[in-house]
Amino acid sequence: MQYQSTRGHDVPQHFSDILLGGLAPDGGLYLPAEYPQLTTDELESWRSLAYADLAYEVLRKFVDDIPEDALRDITRRTYTADVYCNGRPGDDTALITPLRTLGEEQGAPLHLLGLSNGPTLAFKDMAMQLIGNLFEYTLARDDAELNILGATSGDTGSAAEHAMRGKRGIRVVMLSPHGRMSSFQRAQMFSLQDENIVNLAVEGNFDDCQDIVKAVSRDAEFKAHHAIGTVNSINWARVVAQVVYYVHGWLLATDGPGQRVSFSVPSGNFGNVCAGHIARCMGLPIDRLVVATNENDVLDEFFRTGVYRPRSAAETHHTSSPSMDISKASNFERFLYDLVDRDAARLGELFSRLDTEGGFDFTGTPEFDRIAGDFGFVSGKSTHANRVETIRDVHERYGVAIDPHTADGVTVARHHLTAGVPMIVLETALPAKFADIVREALGREPERPTAFEGIEDLPQKFDVVPADADRVKAVIAEHAGR
């Protein structure tokens, strides 16, 4: 298995070559030279596997330079009931990602795939815990150290910090938009007192944070000198780890070969649904991939119209599903690369037009027809009023409390149901992380695991910085020598 850049960098890479980094040297993102395939017999043989062993089977199709025994040990140490428990032992946590059937709507079974059983109560734990163990293994093998630079709109940061705290040879500098996360999300990150964790609250929005990460990654000399790595979803390992739970969701929702399901995915940075795209390209029987956005609807506009027009920071709304307040989706480049038949030169032209014209347009082109026809994408957006109503409706109808991002997924899923085809909504987080909107919808405080009671009252450690890549570089240089 070799990897190539979406921008055409022609030096093939192996999995470990790209594990610790982010952008390719030419500024592109890495993808396999070709997607490995899932056979019908193979999928059927996986029905009885524990999640850790399913993860091993999927990952070994992409990992070519970590011994199989070591890889199996890593997945088994990662996906355990002890890690994915949070005080809720039982059959559900034993499944790691349990499937909860809500009911049947418009002739279609409607399910939630539980992805919030990890230590920070959000789906990002599913990939981040694995990455922490992969990083530790690789650094120990190579006697190396790593300075991780990341950006978060809420959940990536806490998941990364909890996965990396105490890991030998790893330091984390995490950027987050100042004042734009929920109080629970801030507390999960800023209450960590570990010496190897540095939190920077950037005066701007998530896109500003993400732009800083990319700017630092493009400085090849600085990146090499300070051994900069990334845990954002531009990191390939993040995406491939998420492919696993699409396979697991399909296995749980079906009982025989070839049965098709659809997935509805709350989408901001396009990493989560990109994993679904890859699973579909591998042959997983997926009917539709439903991209669910909030009021920041750049992706919905593209999938409906063919027009891609990222918004400025001033145009990016601060919403009640804040982890999706993103107007420039980094992983979207991976899908575009496949959409233009992996023509790196054409992709480069599209991104040049982003810089000069502020967007590009596939309206009326053969590629636009392929978006739904060949790749199965449809989309929709949800507003604050929609998510409040959906949180209330799902609780009243099914007795299940959901967070606002998951509510966006349910809202949009209901517009794309097909009779007889199960619809699986990917759960984003526990509602405890977003108490304000849950309180508005249900008139009460959301339940939270006992270990998180009073987390907002803990001492917090962070620095406020301007949206300036040079300022962040100075912080990295300061901490890299510790």
- Active-site residue set: 124
Q: Left (φ > 0), alpha (ψ -120 to 50) or beta: where does 273 sit?
A: alpha
Instruction: Convert 93-161 into a string of H (helix), E (strand) and C (coil).
Output: HHCCCCEEEEEEECCEEEEEECCCCCCCCECHHHHHHHHHHHHHHHHHHHCCCEEEEEECCCHHHHHHH
The residue whose two tokens read 């009911």 is: 103
Angle at 287 between CA 281 and CA 290, to 5 degrees: 90
397, two tokens: 């109808």
Query: 115-132 burial, b if ≥16 CB within 10 A, otherwise e?
Result: bbbbbbbbbbbbbbbbbb
Cα 62 from Cα 244, distance rounded (Å)? 12
Closest by Cα among 118, 120, 95 to 433: 120
Cα 58 from Cα 336, distance rounded (Å)? 24
8-state DSSP, 310 = P
| Helix extents (H) in 363-423 | 366-373, 384-398, 404-413
Is the four-CA dihedral 73, 74, 79, 80 of positive or negative sign?
positive
Residue 59 three-state SS: helix
Cα 160 from Cα 475, distance rounded (Å)? 18
8-state DSSP, 56 = H
What is 251-304 written as a DSSP string? Answer: HHH-SSTT--EEEEEE-SSSHHHHHHHHHHHTT--EEEEEEEE-S--HHHHHHH
CA–chain centroid gap for 188, Å, is 18
Beta strand pairing call for 99-105 and 463-466? unpaired
Cα 277 from Cα 371, distance rounded (Å)? 11
> Taking a C-beta distance cutoff of 8 angstroms, is the pair 5, 337 a contact?
no
**Count of Cβ atoms closer than 10 Å to residue 449 Cβ:** 15
